[in-house]
Amino acid sequence: MSLLTISDVTLTFGGLKALSEVNMTITQGLITSIIGPNGAGKTSLLNCISGFYHPTSGDISFGEHDLSLTYFSPHQISVLGIARAFQNLELFRGMSVLDNLLLARHKNLKYNFLQAVLYFGKASRIEAENRAYVEGVIEFMELEPYRNKIVGNLSYGIQKRIEVARALTLGPKLLLLDEPMAGMNIEEKEDMVRFVVDIQQERDITVVLIEHDLGVVMDISDQIYVLDFGELIGSGRPEEVANNPKVIEAYIGED
């Protein structure tokens, strides 16, 4: 079943066309990878899905919601059930891991000012529920040793894991991962691959992944879309994409 549908999406910046009539169907429950050379438009597409950009033309539908027609903000899109982990870390480096993740749950703190000040009844219950949810994410992402440590003092690989955990803390139906393994060593990359697969299989979250490591993409993806200069040049299962002449030419070049 389709969870997200991208129909004829075009994105232009002045005379620059970042995306040109792109069509994709993100199937619920699968890992879908979007690949392509640098500058192919991959991050621009995620920006359109998550509300940071609005397409110049075309439609993006998430369930019954038309994200293009209503011009949802990134905050509103996160409430609908789409979360994103950024390529460049978007964490509060001076705060602890726990506080970073608790902060991501602010949209779930639905009580009034008086209830917050007195901290009883509804406010106390909601706070406890959200803390329990965050603790579950910390355990799932194996961040227990770092929960009270300042994020800026941790290694890059752990910070990338926290970035994914922050997105998970939002409780998404669809998780957008923008190069979650970039800059990692082999061991860190293996751990992140395991977490991505577990997110899909154990937490039943649909994953859209941008990744340059084609070995990883071919190993864990259910479906793959390939962009080049903003155009969709190939799609299908990993074995189909690997044998697509246009994809081979985009990555290797003509003989």
Candidate from 64-78, 92-106, 130-144, 219-233 with smallest mean pLDDT: 64-78
Distance in angstroms (rounded) separating the CA atoms of residues 230 and 255: 23
Percent of the residues in the chain that have a pLDDT greater than 90, as a whole number? 67
Q: Does residue 251 have a pLDDT over 90?
A: no
pLDDT given at position 249: 85
Q: Give 206-233 pLDDT, tens digit per residue.
A: 999 999 899 999 999 999 999 999 999 9
* Domain layout of the chain by residue ranges: 1-81+172-255, 95-167
Q: Does residue 254 have a pLDDT over 60?
A: no
Cβ neighbors of 103 (< 8 A, separation 6 or more) are: 92, 95
Distance in angstroms (rounded) separating the CA atoms of residues 209 and 221: 9
φ/ψ (deg, to 5) at 87 = -65, -45
Look at 26 and 106; give whichever has higher pLDDT: 26
- The matching CATH number, chosen from 3.30.70.360, 3.40.50.720, 3.40.50.1000, 3.40.50.300, for 1-81+172-255 is 3.40.50.300
Q: Give 120-137 pLDDT, tens digit per residue.
A: 556 566 677 888 899 999
Q: What is the mean pLDDT of residues 149-171?
A: 94
Distance in angstroms (rounded) separating the CA atoms of residues 250 and 255: 12
Tokens of 91: 């964490």
